[in-house]
Structure 1
């Protein structure tokens, strides 16, 4: 077991709770967990440890919201996401931690600005098929890239699903399947890059129960959350995550 202080374990426990909640109630909040893990553990190790906890939370999110997914949206995203993940693998070979954080922070802020602008321009009018395809290509490639390099695609994809105006359950169900598939797809690459390690697996075993409890609490919370509050929380957590990555 890695040697960590009591404060370090407390922070990791908090991050594990955030992981569970982000998958079943508050998308975008997962960036806070990314920040905590990166602050407590070495950067590369933190990515691997967090990835396995995210997959665990994904399993519960899929079980809870499996009937609410929009599979047409997922199919539109698939090609761009694969391209983004592969670009992320290449990027990880050359970029240091500072470049990774700054790049993702800039991407997130840009995505927020574009999403809010799109919603204002499309107010009262439906988007055509072409705009759906452009949005899927843009958000999908950015989501694949950011999830590979830092497990930080939550805010990116939250902006995509928010722009598509999904109601709470459809949002959570589509996001659950999206991340479950993408995160499992990332595992072989993460092993090859040396990101997933045995000490990291031991940390995951300790934190896993907290992820599970938080996931069930998130499910309870989602049933009681108004749509307007849900959308505001998504935007706020996305901005917080982006700013942290830029200034840390």
Structure 2
């Protein structure tokens, strides 16, 4: 089990933020976990620790939002995500920790800039099998590598302007399926060991707390302020990872 206090200083808030995001804000901040944890451990280690925790969060979210979700979008996104997961597993051995840091840092920075700079007020976009397959496969690939599938998934889903509950439920179902599928290649690639799983078990205490808090806060928190703060921290984490990879 990891003993470094700094690891828990960054990991506990990361788990809580991801849980709150999954429970009430559509899971868009799932990206924040690995960059924050990677400030204390290698990105691949952070991803392995987070996967069982994400699976637990998904179970809580599935129960909370049962019966909701956009089934037509899921029918396009999930098969494409499986392709992305397979590609991620096949290329895993060719990526060093610095490569992963660059990928995570780039995604974190671009996703944050997209959040702050994207235009608002556009009308709803019609569903598209082509766009859904493209962004779904990219979501599967980035989710496998660093649990950062929220960015490409949201690029497809947000313009559809789904009802809030259906949007949140769609993201929960998508990542529940993706995360449980990822358990197979993660195991085959030797990503898990007893120390990491014990660390996951300790941090998992905060998983249902985060998800249920997110569901409770959905109608009680200033969502814009929450996102501004979290994306600000995400931008700083992305810049730090970029600096570490190139240093």
**Residues of 2 paired with 1:173 and 1:140: CA distance?**
16
Alpha-carbon spacing, 1:68–1:197, altered in 2? closer, same or farther (3 Å)? same
Aligned residue in 2 for 1:35:
35
1:118 is displaced (CA, Å) by 9.7
Is the Cα–Cα contact under 8 Å of residues 84 and 143 in structure 1 kept in the other structure? yes
1:78 is displaced (CA, Å) by 2.0
TM superposition score normalised by structure 2: 0.83
Aligned residue in 2 for 1:51:
51
**Residues of 2 paired with 1:134 and 1:31: CA distance?**
24
SS at match of 2:19: helix
Matched, 1:169 2:168: no
Is the Cα–Cα contact under 8 Å of residues 15 and 37 in structure 1 kept in the other structure? yes
Is the Cα–Cα contact under 8 Å of residues 91 and 149 in structure 1 kept in the other structure? no
Is the Cα–Cα contact under 8 Å of residues 29 and 237 in structure 1 kept in the other structure? no
Is the Cα–Cα contact under 8 Å of residues 108 and 238 in structure 1 kept in the other structure? no
Matched, 1:68 2:64: no
SS at match of 1:39: coil
Matched, 1:4 2:3: yes
Gaps of 5+ in 2: none
SS at match of 2:205: helix
1:61 is displaced (CA, Å) by 0.9
Matched, 1:20 2:19: yes
**Residues of 2 paired with 1:234 and 1:14: CA distance?**
13
SS at match of 1:123: coil
**Residues of 2 paired with 1:164 and 1:58: CA distance?**
23
**Residues of 2 paired with 1:15 and 1:90: CA distance?**
28
Aligned residue in 1 for 2:191:
195
Is the Cα–Cα contact under 8 Å of residues 118 and 163 in structure 1 kept in the other structure? no
1:242 is displaced (CA, Å) by 5.9
Is the Cα–Cα contact under 8 Å of residues 28 and 238 in structure 1 kept in the other structure? no
Aligned residue in 2 for 1:205:
201
Aligned residue in 2 for 1:158:
154
**Residues of 2 paired with 1:156 and 1:76: CA distance?**
14
SS at match of 2:67: helix
How many matched pairs?
A: 242
TM superposition score normalised by structure 1: 0.83
Higher percent of residues as helix: 1
Is the Cα–Cα contact under 8 Å of residues 28 and 237 in structure 1 kept in the other structure? no
- RMSD over aligned CA atoms reads 3.1
1:13 is displaced (CA, Å) by 1.7
Gaps of 5+ in 1: none
Following TM superposition, the consecutive aligned residue runs of length 4 or more in structure 1 with deviations greater than 4 angstroms are 104-120, 230-239, 241-248
